[in-house]
């Protein structure tokens, strides 16, 4: 992968299924298999036979599509608890690549289709992921470069930036450290921007003291509410 690497910590998961159902999915199936992939390992390519359904147990995965001229669009970034590889047809419609060393649990498509427990788990998880895809569609279609980068950073700030957010609690500081498992090229491919634009926006945010770059592997958000206002969401 090209681009300047930004090392990272945890990737935020969008799966929000209730705790009581958390152990009733793919990981609980007697037929599930487990496999660890290295960073930037290919789990499957677009067009491969859709034989398995996967769940991220630990680590992070990006799903992407390639255009005939080699351009790439990253369509999803997945973390622990997120499902992927759920096919609409006989083949996968995206490629899946790990961003870090990643442990996945998988079951065969046949096993998933015959298990009501897994089906219910899949339905709950996929509803959350569809909501995230709607947000991504708005980001790509209507948001400016600054709004896209701000929205991307905010997704990694726990419990902030949604409609239930009530701001910083119990502290005079409104800082948060964001760490990413992605190169700037991968971020650009997710946001529909060029790597130069991503770098320029981050530099501008740094100049305006919205963020600081720490050791090139972490971003410290100096004012979470200030960054949130840059997302265009409110």
Q: Which pLDDT tens digit goes with each residue over 82-137?
A: 999 998 889 999 999 999 999 999 999 988 888 888 888 888 888 888 888 898 99
In this prediction, residue 56 carries a pLDDT of: 95
Residue 128: CATH number of its domain: 2.60.120.10
Domain-embedded: residue 35: yes
pLDDT in tens, 143-153: 999 999 999 99
| Paired sense of beta strands 218-221 and 33-37, if any | unpaired
Give pLDDT, residue 165: 66
State the Rg of the chain over Cα: 18
- Could you tell me if residue 3 is inside a domain? no
Does the residue 82 lie in any domain? yes
Do residues 38 and 129 share a domain? Answer: yes
204 and 190 in a common domain:
yes
Token pair belonging to 154: 């905010």
Residue span of the structural domain in which 153 resides:
144-229
The larger pLDDT score, comparing residue 164 to residue 51, is at 51
CATH at 154: 1.10.10.10
Residue 55 lies in a domain: yes
Domain assignment present for 101: yes
Average pLDDT, the chain: 84
Same domain, 128 and 165: no
Q: How far is CA 123 from the centre of its chain?
A: 19
């Amino acid at each position: 992968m090209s681009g300047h690497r930004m090392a990272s910590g945890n990737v935020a998961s969008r799966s929000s299924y209730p705790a009581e159902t958390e152990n009733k999915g793919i990981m609980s199936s007697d037929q599930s298999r487990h496999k660890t992939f290295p960073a930037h390992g290919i789990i499957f390519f677009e067009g491969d036979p859709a034989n398995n359904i996967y769940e991220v147990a630990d680590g992070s995965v990006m799903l992407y599509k390639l255009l005939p001229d080699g351009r790439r669009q990253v369509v999803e970034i997945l973390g622990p608890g997120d499902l992927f590889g759920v096919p609409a047809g006989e083949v996968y419609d995206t490629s899946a690549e790990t961003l870090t060393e990643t442990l996945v649990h998988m079951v065969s498509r046949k096993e998933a289709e015959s298990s009501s427990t897994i089906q219910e788990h899949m339905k709950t998880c996929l509803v959350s992921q569809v909501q995230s895809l709607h947000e991504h569609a708005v980001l790509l279609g209507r948001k400016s470069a600054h709004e896209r980068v701000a929205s991307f950073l905010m997704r990694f700030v726990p419990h902030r930036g949604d409609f239930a957010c009530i701001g910083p609690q119990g502290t005079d500081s409104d800082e948060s450290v964001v760490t990413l498992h992605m190169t700037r090229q991968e971020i650009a491919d997710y946001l529909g921007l060029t790597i130069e634009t991503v770098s320029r926006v981050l530099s501008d945010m740094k100049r305006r003291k919205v963020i600081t770059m720490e050791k090139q592997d972490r971003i410290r958000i100096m004012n979470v509410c200030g960054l949130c206002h840059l997302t265009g969401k409110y």
